[in-house]
Amino acid sequence: MPNNQYNPDDPTVPVRPHHSSQPPQPPPPQSQPPQGKLVLGGFQNQPAPPQRKPYQNPASQHPHQPPVSPPPHPHHQQQAAPPWQQQAPIAPPHYNNNYQAGHVSAKPPMASKRRGKGCLITSIVVLVLACIVGSIAVTTTQRVLAFGSKISTQAPLSTQTNYMNISDRTSMLVMGYGGGTHDGANLTDSLLVASIMPQSHHTTLVSIPRDLLVSIPGAPGGVGKINSLYEYTSNFGKSPTTGANTVAAKAAKITGLNVKYWMMIDFTGFRDLIDALGGVDVYVPDSFNACYPKNDDAAKDASWIKVQFNKGNQHMDGARAITYARAREPLEVCGQGTSQNLAELTDFGRSARQQIIVKAVLAKVKQASTWPKFFDAMTALEKAISTNLSLADLSQFALKMDMNDPKTSRIGLSNQNVLVEDASYNLLPRNDDWNVVSSYVQQKLYN
């Protein structure tokens, strides 16, 4: 990393290194790359990336009128029943036993005592069932509340947003990281700002590229890629809340949105969530292939595998969905042929695919038929998710997100709009002006 300087008055703004021989030129006019395309929101087609090192969802009768039988048809008179089969009329509902009809006194039914025993037995059965259901409900409630306590810095049923019954825009940063103990475990390779208007459910997604250069306390020269900001400010995962708060504050300065809330999830936990939900249905807009690490921990297995995704609807399990969201290395990197649709293998293409997976997961989570399956994932998710939103607020936030509305805004910051790339493939705001980035986000909030 070059010894870049940064402006102490605005810690978000790294200044371009003095040794650069040429000022960055604005990106060339947008044009279709020779292979593939991206079709999601504000994401644009990208040129082929250089080879890089791998990354480290019927009316009743009147109650006081006795029933009246219609007169018999003159040609269809029925013969009177033998005396032993005749029965005295029984008093209708709401009448006492002194009611008379045709001078025959109504009498209570002979089987009243036996029926009373039946009602008693039924009542006991209902009571027992109610107790069983109640105990299950209590146990389930306790399990959910325990889950909420473990994943959040807030009490499960507390609220910071009046349970999302507010008119103000509410924004949350979702950070995906590798987790585990291998190198790069605390790099947040996925940074997505989800912003909603709770009353109208209008949703905006802003993907922040991992290679965006920002000021980072403790990093060499005080500057580094934004995906390493959490690593440094959390003391390599030892102070997760401090690190997450710092990254959320940085996302607020970059986007101009009031990003007060955050959620972190490691990729293993996200995979387990998708598996617990029974997989997700995904529409792949463009075919592509790529190299993908056979194991995230290169110390265990440094080999590569070839992955292929074809255009169309697909059902993905957790592992497949994570691979789709993260793949970015061309086949040439692992010597397994020539990649198709290199535009999908840029960080911008990858950001677009991550938004597609988030949409699919939200859609599955909102299906009531899948809710019982969520309990299967709680144990795994307790170790994989952390947030500064209460469980109640987080649930409401997810339910109010509307990813199927055509007006949903999907914004990808790239070198095709407000960013430029330097010789080391770092991304910077055009003309070193961060106001250009936040202004662009504001313009695209409802587009």
pLDDT in tens, 334-383: 888 888 899 999 888 988 999 999 999 988 888 878 777 777 778 778 88
What pLDDT score does 376 carry? 73
- pLDDT band of 257, cuts 50, 70, 90: very high
Residue 19, Cβ neighbours under 10 Å: how many?
8
Helix (H, G, I), strand (E, B) or coil at 410: strand
Average pLDDT for the chain: 78
Residue 267 lies in a domain: yes
Residue 154, Cβ neighbours under 10 Å: how many?
19
CA distance 214 to 11: 8
CA distance 264 to 384: 8
Task: Reply yes or no on whether the pLDDT at 185 is more than 80.
Answer: yes
Task: Kindly state the helix (H) or strand (E) to which residue 177 belongs, with its residue range.
Answer: strand 170-177
Residue 227 lies in a domain: yes
Q: Which residue do the tokens 């790099």 mark?
A: 187
What pLDDT score does 164 carry? 94
Question: 421 or 52, which is more confident?
Answer: 421
Give the rounded percent of residues in the chain with a pLDDT score beyond 70: 69
Task: Reply yes or no on whether the pLDDT at 433 is more than 90.
Answer: yes
Least confident of 83-87, 151-155, 269-273, 327-331: 83-87
Task: Reply yes or no on whether the pLDDT at 83 is more than 90.
Answer: no
Residue 175 lies in a domain: yes
Nearest alpha-carbon partner for 151 in 379, 364, 374, 398: 379
Residue 39 lies in a domain: no
Using a cut of 0.75, tell me whether the model's pTM lies above it: no
Residue 397 lies in a domain: yes
Residue 296 half-sphere exposure, CB side, CA atoms within 13 Å?
A: 20
Task: Reply yes or no on whether the pLDDT at 71 is more than 50.
Answer: no
pLDDT 10s digits, 275-325:
988 899 999 999 999 999 988 777 788 899 999 999 999 999 999 999 999
Residue 67 lies in a domain: no
Question: 283 or 82, which is more confident?
Answer: 283
Number of domains making up the chain: 1
- pLDDT band of 99, cuts 50, 70, 90: very low
Task: Reply yes or no on whether the pLDDT at 90 is more than 90.
Answer: no
Task: Reply yes or no on whether the pLDDT at 156 is more than 90.
Answer: yes
- Give mean pLDDT, residues 230-255: 96
CA distance 407 to 405: 5
- Give the CATH number of the domain where residue 361 resides: 3.40.630.190
What pLDDT score does 269 carry? 86
* Residue 416 near residue 30 (C-beta atoms within 8 A): yes
Task: Reply yes or no on whether the pLDDT at 10 is more than 80.
Answer: no
Residue 406 lies in a domain: yes
Task: Reply yes or no on whether the pLDDT at 17 is more than 80.
Answer: no
Supply the range of the domain harboring residue 330: 170-444
What pLDDT score does 131 carry? 67
- Give mean pLDDT, residues 225-233: 96
Residue 262 lies in a domain: yes
* Residue 261 near residue 166 (C-beta atoms within 8 A): no
